[in-house]
Amino acid sequence: MTVLVLGGAGYVGSHAVMMLQEKGYDVAVVDNLVTGHRKAVPDDVRFYEGDVRDRSFMEKVFTTEKKIEGLMHFCAYSLVGESMEKPAMYFDNNVGGCITILEMMEEFNVKHIVFSSTAATFGIPKESPISERTPQAPINPYGESKLIMEKMMHWQSQATEMTYVALRYFNVAGASNDGHIGEAHKNETHLIPIILQVALGQRETITIYGDDYNTPDGTCVRDYIDMEDLINAHIKALEYLKAGGKSDQFNLGSSKGYSNLEVLETARKVTQKEIPSQMGARRPGDPDSLVADSTKAGEILDWHVENDLEHIIKNAWNWHSGHPNGY
C-alpha cells in the first residue's frame, strides 16, 4: 500500500518521504516544484511533477497509483508577510488545492489524510500554552486559508467515509540526522536558518525584531519543534486513522518556549561562532509568545517530543554548513 505525499519535495514533505521510506512504506510524491526541490526526493520514489489544483493531472496520478492507503498533504504557500500582500494567491493555492484533493479522495475512495495546519490559525492567542480548546482567530490570510482547509476537511468527513488529522505545527526547524536534506527556502524569513546564514558568513548580522514584548527578556518567545519529532507525529496520525481513529486536530510543539535571544545564544554555543546581532524594530503581526500545549497528541497519538532546541540547531547547522547554497 502506498502513501501519496503531496508537496513531498518541500522542506517538511521531503523529510516525511525519507522517514516513511525508512519505516518501510511505499511512497509516491506529487509536487509542482514552486518552492520544492527535485533533488530533495530520492530517485527511487515515484515522482509526479504537477499542480494539485490540476484535476486532470491528479486523476492521472490517482489512476496510476492504484494502492493509495493515505495522503500526507504539505502543499501550500506559507509565508505570513507574503499572504498579507497577495491574499487571493494564498486562497487559490491553499484552499483551491484542498478542493481538488478532497474530490480525488472521494472519486478514488481514498480514506485517510494527514495535513499541515499551523499555529497561525490561532492569531494572537488569549491564553498560553495554546491547546486545542483555545479559540482559532487568524490574523492573516495564510492562517485563514489553513483554518478554511480544516473546516473543509471537517465537513467532507461528515459527508463521506474519509477521516483526517489536522496537525497544527508551531515553529518547525531542524534537518535530517544524516545532514542529507534540510531547509532551503529561496527567500528565507525564519529565525534559525537566518542565524545560521550569519554563522556561515553569508549575512553580516541578524536583526532581532523587537525587545519590548511582554516576555522575560523582551524578545518574542516561540516553541520550536524538531523535524524528526514532527514527522513521527504524521506517521502516528496516519496509523491512528488506519486503525479506525476518528478525525481530529492536534497542536504540535515541544511545550517549551525559547526567546529569540535564547535561540541566538544556543546557536552561538552549537556553532562556536560569534554571530553578530543587532536589535531592530518589531515585525508587524508577531505575537509576544506562542507555546503549544501538546498534551492531547500525547494522550491520543502517543506522541512525545524527544529532541530539544540544541539538537534542532545542531542538525540545522550540519545541513547548512554542508550545503551552503542549498540543493
Q: Where on the chain is the footprint of ligand GDU (CB under 6 A)?
A: 78, 118-120, 169-171, 189-191, 194, 206-209, 220, 222, 260, 283, 286, 290
C-alpha dist (Å) from residue 305 to 20, 103, 228, 312: 18, 34, 9, 12
Site string for ligand NAD, 157-196 (x = CB under 6 A): ------------x-xx------------------------
> Of 52 and 196, which has the nearer Cβ to ligand NAD?
52
- Answer yes or no whether residue 33 interacts with ligand NAD by CB under 6 A: yes
> Of 70 and 97, which has the nearer Cβ to ligand NAD?
97
C-alpha dist (Å) from residue 107 to 46, 55, 60, 74, 162: 22, 11, 12, 21, 11
The label of the residue with cell 511582554 reads 214
- Cα(323)–Cα(181) distance, integer angstroms: 9
Residue spans of alpha helices (H) in the chain: 11-22, 55-64, 80-85, 87-90, 96-107, 141-159, 191-199, 227-242, 260-271, 295-301, 309-322
Interface residue with ligand NAD among 25, 74, 164, 250 (CB under 6 A) is 74
Selection from 64, 63, 38, 39 nearest residue 49 by Cα: 38
- Cα(191)–Cα(226) distance, integer angstroms: 14
- Answer yes or no whether residue 36 interacts with ligand NAD by CB under 6 A: yes
Q: How far is the CB of 209 from ligand NAD (least distance, A)?
A: 16
CA 112 to chain CA centroid, Å, is 19
Catalytic residue among 11, 25, 48, 142: 142
> Of 53 and 320, which has the nearer Cβ to ligand NAD?
53
Q: How many CB atoms lie under 10 A from the CB of residue 207?
A: 14
Q: How far is the CB of 157 from ligand NAD (least distance, A)?
A: 19
> Of 187 and 272, which has the nearer Cβ to ligand GDU?
187
C-alpha dist (Å) from residue 32 to 91, 243, 290: 17, 31, 31
The label of the residue with cell 497544527 reads 168
> Of 121 and 176, which has the nearer Cβ to ligand GDU?
121
Is 142 an active-site residue? Answer: yes
- Answer yes or no whether residue 258 interacts with ligand NAD by CB under 6 A: no
Q: How far is the CB of 267 from ligand NAD (least distance, A)?
A: 17
Q: Which residues contribute to the site for ligand NAD (CB under 6 A)?
A: 7, 9-13, 30-36, 51-53, 74-76, 78, 93, 97, 116, 118, 169, 171-172
Q: Which residues are catalytic?
A: 142
